[in-house]
Structure 1
Amino acid sequence: MIHLLKEVARGKRGARDLTYGESLEAAEKILSLEATPAQIGAFFIAERIKMESVEELEAFVAVCRKHTYRPPVQRGLDCAGPYDGRRKSFMATIPVSFVLAAAGLPVTLHGSASLPPKWGITLQDVFAAAGISADRLSKEDSLRAAERTGLLYVQAEDWCPPLKRLRPIREELGMRTVLNTAEKLIDYAHSPYLAFGVYHNTVFDRLGRLLTSLEYKKALIIQGAEGSEDLHIDRPTRTYLVENGEAHLRVIDPDAYGLETPVPESEWTAADQLRVAEEVLRGQSEAAYLHQTVLNAAVRLTLADKAESVEQGLYTAKAVLDSGDAFARYEEWKSTLLRP
């Protein structure tokens, strides 16, 4: 590991990107904990200063996938949001996922307990508020619920054990590492479509090349709320569509569909997130959250070739919500996981 550290930790000017082969070696030593905690921390910090190359990111994704339980159970959409959670924005991806499942598009959600740097509320926190305890949720439970409802929820640190072993180092460092990107691209269910959230649009090009290398059929990189995969509803959102080896910038403006709505300022708790998600699925929420759910569902249906246009996707999403099918799908998913 030391010879690899010497290459990436020479400072901003002297450091060089590792080759793909070298990156695989580094990733294997880190994820297997063959490297020492000091070496792992030093590597993470050096990469953060240098900025990870596409080859380095691809190697870490490959090794993460190698150490992960990845059953090919769904050929749908992977929604990759921030594992460090949310603080000031609604997790529209939760009700959106049940709308999509009810519309015939299988969805995979994944995450863990909160991580640095944000230490926000995570999917795990929200589902725990619904009574779905992380320490009692097995892979078999998740797969059974996915088979019945089309929604697969993955607890990342159970399905990819190295992430759990590396958590203490990441918590102690308190900053983003290469794993903050790699863990979101493990692709637990072999999904051909991806909605991937980012915080800064400066990473669009690099991630576009990475997703091309990872051979998704289509992927949408979204500069969403708090770095999530959720499009804004109160202003346009910059996105990057990756398809057929090419990437194109697309700005999605809710006003173009008559959906732009001011969003109330709020400091969210897990209980608040759950309550509003359920209100959306019942059709009883504030307009901002309902509109955000419908727009995000429409764009994701279009991405996954389940709608020919965003307009058609809006019609489908509204119909699924109005019929109660999305809420029924959520109730079935929850009851399956809570069943003794």
Structure 2
Amino acid sequence: MFAKLLKEVGRGKRGARDLSYEEARMAAEMIVDDKVTPAQLGAFFVAERIKMESVEELQAFVEVLREHAYRVPVQEGIDCTGPYDGRKKSFYATFATAFVTAAAGLPVTLHGTAPMPPKWGITLQELLQEAGVAAAEMSRESAAHAAKETGVLYASSEQWCPPLAKLRPVRLELDMRTIINTAEKLVDYSHSPYLLFGVFHNTVFERMAKLSQNLSYRKALIVQGVEGSEDLFIERPTRTYDVSGGEATLYVINPDAYGLETAVPEIAWTPKEQLNATEAVLQGKGHLAFVNQVLLNAAVRLQLAEKVESVEEGLYICKALMDEGAPFERYRTWISLMQKQGAQTV
């Protein structure tokens, strides 16, 4: 049966057709259940890459992965979904931002894995390892406990969703983007009602907006952010799609409108440099560009999750929290819990 589905998506750029939701779900289930050969799996991923995945195909793969994942409603907040292949040239603003928004009353779910193709950049998991957190080995219960105490959940995706671990070898061998690169970001480990989703090309805005609607998020913001992430630029405007009430609206966020536009320094990023920059920002000692970037991202996320009525209100709240040191204290508590729980697990 899988061979028949493979033929439909593998007839070439002109002859290939999109699978129906039911067909795509069948393909996803067969892949997850190890009912395809390595050759078939590789061919399917390449064919989908050439054809470009439809909304129905993506939805099917997301829902099958969700059914095989550990998902717990530990908190009602925002799911921040950036590329799992990491960063090479930019500050990991979403990590520091998580503790600002959590301190403001908005729980955050982050997730990721070890470096992946095609970018092979620095991942959040490597940043956590630099902080002494063995996220990949930590039990799901331990991570959930830290989230209940602080409002920040980190899910090591290949542990929380075992099919992703099984698919890693073929993805590494292919060394290219596959349908899994999108689907893995939408597993939604804590049943978050709000979605922040990073994309690289604006050509996928409408497709991702439709997908977020099909997956029943209360509200979503699709961001053409830094290195394809969910992080807004601070040195120039960022194109986004605001998805709510069944409609998607183009929304350009300009940092200059809030007096925050700042030139970004060139830094040879390593996990250690990322961690140092994160801690400096949370302590109010970081480079102004990164401080402003965290403030803007936090304010926009609070507005998305209906915690504030405007970005300006969000900036006011987040700046006050930063000045008081609340996000850094929350970060220290979270790191301590994660280190302690990780040590017990290992």
**Structure 1-normalised TM-score?**
0.99
State how far apart, in whole Å, the 2-side matches of 1:7 and 1:304 are: 40
- Give the match for residue 212 of structure 2: 211
Deviation at 1:320, TM superposition (A): 1.1
Letter in 1 for 2:235: D
CA distance in 2, matches of 1:190, 1:135: 21
Residue-pair matches, total: 340
Q: Secondary structure at the match of 1:153?
A: strand
The one-letter code matched in structure 1 to 2:194 is: Y
The whole-number CA distance in structure 2 between the counterparts of 1:235 and 1:198 is: 17
- How much has 1:58 moved relative to structure 2? 0.3
Is 1:251–2:273 an aligned residue pair?
A: no
* 1:202 matched residue in structure 2: 203
In the TM superposition, what whole-angstrom CA distance separates every residue of 1:147-204 from its partner, at most 9, and x where no partner exists?
1000000000000000000000000001000000000000000000011000000000
Runs in 1 of length 4+ with deviation above 6 angstroms?
none
In 1: Cα distance, 2:64 partner to 2:137 partner: 27
**Percent identity at matched positions?**
62
**Partner residue in 1 for 2:293:** 292
Q: 1:135 to 1:111 in 2, by over 3 A?
A: closer
Q: Which residue of 1 aligns with 2:317?
A: 316
1:167 paired residue number: 168
Question: Pairwise mapping of residues 269-284 of structure 1 onto structure 2 (< 5 A)?
Answer: 269-284=270-285
1:327 aligns with 328
How far residue 266 of structure 1 moved from its aligned partner, in angstroms, is: 1.8
Q: CA separation in 2, counterparts of 1:287 and 1:145? A: 30
RMSD (Å), alpha carbons:
0.7
> Aligned equivalents of 1:255 and 1:139: distance in 2?
41
Instruction: Name the counterpart of 1:4.
Output: 5
Q: With structure 2 as the length reference, what TM-score do the two structures score?
A: 0.97
1:50-89 alpha-carbon deviations (Å, 9 max, x no partner): 0000000000000010100001111100000110000000
What is the letter of the counterpart of residue 293 of structure 1? V
Give 1:135 deviation, angstroms: 4.2
Q: Which residue matches 2:45?
A: 44
Query: What's the counterpart of residue 151 of structure 1?
Result: 152
- 1:270-320 CA-partner distances (Å, limit 9, x unpaired): 000000000000000010000000000000000000110000000111111
Partner of 1:30: 31
Q: Matched residues in 2 for 1:267 and 1:225: separation?
A: 16
TM-aligned CA distance change 1:135 to 1:301, over 3 Å: closer
**What amino acid is aligned across from residue 318 of structure 2 in structure 1?**
A
Cα distance in 2, alignment partners of residues 222 and 244 from structure 1: 18
Gaps (5+ residues) in structure 1?
A: none
Q: Deviations over 1:199-223 (max 9, x none)?
A: 0000001111111101100000000
List runs of 5+ in structure 2 lacking aligned partners.
none
Residue 15 of structure 2: aligned partner: 14
**How far is the alpha carbon of 1:136 from its aligned partner?**
3.3
Partner residue, 1:307:
308
Q: Distance in 2 between matches of 1:215 and 1:141?
A: 28
Residue in 2 that maps onto 1:263 = 264
Residue 81 of structure 1 is matched in structure 2 by: 82
SS of structure 1 residue aligned to 2:13 = helix
Please list, as runs of the form range in 1=range in 2, the aligned pairs for 1:168-247 lying within 5 A after superposition. 168-247=169-248
Aligned match of 2:108: 107
CA displacement 1:118-158 (0-9 Å, x = unmatched): 00000100000000013431111101100100000000000
Deviations 1:233-279 (A, max 9, x none): 00000000111111010000000000000001122100000000000
Q: Which piece of structure 1 moves more, 26-35 or 229-238?
A: 26-35
Residue deviations 1:14-35 (CA, integer Å, cap 9, x gap):
0000000000000011122211
In structure 1, distance between residues paired with 2:245 and 2:215: 12
Task: Give the equivalent residue in structure 2 for 1:70.
Answer: 71
